[in-house]
Amino acid sequence: MKDSGGNRRQQRTGVFVALLLFELVLVLLQLWLFVSVLEGTVSGGSPIALTAMFVSFACFAVNTWMLVGVRRLDRAE
Instruction: Report domain extents, the chain.
Output: 4-76
Is a pLDDT exceeding 60 seen at residue 1?
no
pLDDT for res 77:
66
Phi-psi map region of 2: left, alpha, beta (phi>0 left; psi -120 to 50 alpha): beta
**Residue 73 contacts by C-beta under 8 Å, 6 or more apart in sequence?**
12, 15, 16
Amino acid type, 49: A
Mean of per-residue pLDDT scores for the chain:
82
The phi and psi torsions of 44 (rounded to 5 degrees) equal: 95, 5
Cα(23)–Cα(64) distance, integer angstroms: 11
pTM of the predicted structure, to 2 decimals: 0.69
- Residue-wise pLDDT for 25-50, tens only, equals 988 988 888 888 888 788 877 777 78
Q: Phi, psi at residue 45, to the nearest 5°?
A: -100, 100
